[in-house]
Amino acid sequence: MLPADPMTSKSKGIEPLLVRLADTEWHSGEQLARDLGLTRAAIWKQIERLRSLGLDIEAGAGRGYRLAQHLDLLNKIEIEQSLPGHVRAQLSTFEVCSSIDSTNAYLLREINTNKAPARVCLSEHQTAGRGRRARRWCSPFAANIYLSVAWKFAQTPPGLPTLALALTVQVVKTLRALGVDGAGIKWPNDLVWQQRKLGGMLVEWRGEVAGFQEAIAGVGINVAMPIAVEREIDQPWADLREICGDRAPGRNDLATQLIQALIEGFERFQWQGFEPFREDYLAFDTVRGKPARIVNADNVHEGIAQGIDDHGALLLRLGDGQVQRFYSGDVSLRLGNL
């Protein structure tokens, strides 16, 4: 029996073929066409579409097609059924896509008309993934986690500027619980391991006509980055395959745990603000006490990082002893000897 189709998509058509190829066995073009009710030409076009997404699909005369390496595909049913009941009760929509522009952008386009406050979007691939300051986020197909969770606030929560820090704490706690020892936070939104980038958080906001505010938290985590995309990344990075080896969590388990952590983080934050997350943030902060440079437009400020203030601003002790605050919107933090 074939596995259940793991994806609902905003880019229809390739999922049934991908499910059949995911076992890395050879599949003849004739059999694939017969099983999927397509012509051989249509199968070839879909193979080319999958290759355009970065998948390595081999073709052999008399044997057909196969994926060069196993894919740990996202499975919507498995993830949804693995979520605790109190988390599922908060969901108004849950989408798992094959390829979209970005999970954050998708949730920003849609409107939550339900009473349940949370919406979730996962995707195997993003064509326009974004990080902070509109930086491009490399999003190879079925290799990493690209997840966004939206939460509708009935009223403005306390300590609003620190929401992204609180949710980043939730992600690091999840990673550590799954065996990613040493995962930490580089202010304001980077997930790091041994000062190499493991992932990131992007929180965006929008107001709704009924007076509600909705936050969209996007998380990207490197799980098994293909060697072919290394040249596209302009900074030191790590992935779970390197860190955990055979103990690395599967993508479905990781997605489930992250969804639960983010929804529980939103719930706690809306009533208590950043205070419940403060102690963990201090424990996970990889910047505090280290030499740092803040680059702001054409200005460079050097000093020793002193943690954050109550509004989430980075505190930097300058050479003259003064402590200056920097907010995340328009600055870049770099660590290193002064």
Domain definitions of the chain by residue range: 15-67, 83-284, 291-335
| pLDDT value of position 231 | 66
| pLDDT value of position 254 | 98
Evaluate whether the domain defined by 15-67 bears CATH number 1.20.120.530: no
The closest of 119, 78, 111, 106 to 10, measured between CA atoms, is 106
User: Does the structure show a pLDDT above 80 at 336?
Assistant: no
> Could you give the CA distance from residue 229 to residue 54 in angstroms, rounded to a whole number?
9
> End-to-end CA distance of the chain, in Å?
61
Q: Which residues, at least 6 apart from 124, have a Cβ–Cβ distance to it below 8 Å?
A: 7, 73, 74, 97, 98, 99, 141, 142, 146
Q: Is the Cβ–Cβ distance between 23 and 55 less than 8 Å? A: no
The closest of 85, 88, 106 to 97, measured between CA atoms, is 106
**225 or 318: which leads in pLDDT:** 318
Lowest mean pLDDT among 30-34, 63-67, 241-245, 293-297: 293-297
The β-bridge partners of 246 are none
> Could you give the CA distance from residue 146 to residue 87 in angstroms, rounded to a whole number?
19
User: Does the structure show a pLDDT above 50 at 12?
Assistant: no
* Catalytically annotated residues: 132, 197, 334
CATH architecture of the domain with range 291-335: Roll (2.30)
Tell me what the mean pLDDT of segment 43-56 comes to: 86
**164: part of which helix (H) or strand (E)?**
helix 163-177
Evaluate whether the domain defined by 83-284 bears CATH number 3.30.499.10: no
| pLDDT value of position 14 | 72
pLDDT in tens, 55-105: 888 999 989 999 887 888 999 999 999 999 999 999 999 999 988 899 999
| pLDDT value of position 248 | 92
Confidence label for 332 from pLDDT (cuts 50, 70 and 90): confident
Confidence label for 220 from pLDDT (cuts 50, 70 and 90): very high
Q: What is the mean pLDDT of the chain?
A: 87
| pLDDT value of position 252 | 97
| pLDDT value of position 4 | 38
Tell me what the mean pLDDT of segment 50-59 comes to: 84
| pLDDT value of position 187 | 93
pTM (two decimals): 0.87
